[in-house]
Amino acid sequence: MHPTGPTLPLLRPPETLLDTPGTRLSHGGVLDTPAGLLTVLALEHRPVPPQGGAVSPWLVYLTMPGRPYGTLALPRLLDDQEYGVQLVICQFGQVAERRGLVLVMHHAFLPRSVGLFLDAAVTPSPAADLLAEPALLEPSRDGGAGERAGGAPEGVRVWHSGVLRVGGLLYTRLEATADRPGLLVGPAWDPSPRRPADSPPPLEVRTEPPGGHRHFARSWGEEHSAVDAVLLAERAPLRLDWTCHPLGMSNTRALGAG
């Protein structure tokens, strides 16, 4: 087993932003990752609102009061109709100035737009819980391809977003972030079904005992490779493994019952 690596800055812990009859909106923490600011919104409602086709119905952005523009996220959606949860993965990239920023969320399904000042006082969420903090992965003891002499991969940082529990579900993101284009090309980084049958996907999220997986979503480019995983929260105690096969990196976290 490989322990969790160095933690990543958590700018805000999970909070519940809107709680009305039948609808609850929480965020799973605002994280400062190698890819920039990241947050995951959790909309709890039955039934889960439709995605709205190829264009996301969510508008999520960072701005300052009175500013005519903002930093827009491009949300990715993971729906679970059975559990009544829609997860909205929002990446903003690198944001240099954060003082006075407000996070704004809008969806036609919400009774109103929701805003959160990033430097406001924190109100812990009764509904969303971060069971494991976001962390960088470290090389496995036996090393791996792509590893430089000091034990760290050259130009690539691999990290996970922690483990968010909301309702009966767990969410985590595992990403390899490159400092420049071209570092994550080649067959070893290909997450598609075109890879050889005996080749594992570049990034894996596994559980022990196995099973309990609800949804996976993968993305890949010259500067990133990522997998978003939704798991059942009811299978506890549970061990979660994050693995980056091309770089021989792995972390493990044991989650207790409850």
* pLDDT higher than 70, residue 153: no
Torsion angle, alpha carbons of 203, 206, 211, 212, to 10: -90
Q: What mean pLDDT comes out for the span 48-57?
A: 75
Q: What mean pLDDT comes out for the span 125-140?
A: 91
Whole-model pTM: value is 0.91
* pLDDT higher than 80, residue 126: yes
What is the sign, positive or negative, of the torsion defined by CA atoms of 119, 70, 126, 89? negative
Confidence of residue 147 (pLDDT cuts 50, 70, 90): very low
pLDDT, mean over the chain: 88
* pLDDT higher than 60, residue 148: no
Q: What mean pLDDT comes out for the span 210-236?
A: 90
Task: Give the lowest-confidence range in 3-12, 29-38, 145-154.
Answer: 145-154
R_g of the chain, CA atoms, integer Å: 18
pLDDT of residue 3: 56
> Residues 6 or more apart from 149 whose CB is under 8 A from it?
none
- Residue range 65-111, pLDDT digits in tens: 988 889 999 899 999 999 999 999 999 999 888 889 999 999 988 98
The full set of domains in the chain, from first to last, is 10-126 (2.60.40), 130-255 (2.60.40)
Task: Work out the end-to-end distance of the chain between its first and last CA atoms, rounded to an integer number of angstroms.
Answer: 23
* pLDDT higher than 50, residue 51: yes
Confidence of residue 11 (pLDDT cuts 50, 70, 90): very high
pLDDT of residue 52: 66
Chain centre distance of CA 73? 13
* pLDDT higher than 70, residue 64: yes
Confidence of residue 215 (pLDDT cuts 50, 70, 90): very high
Q: What mean pLDDT comes out for the span 40-44?
A: 96
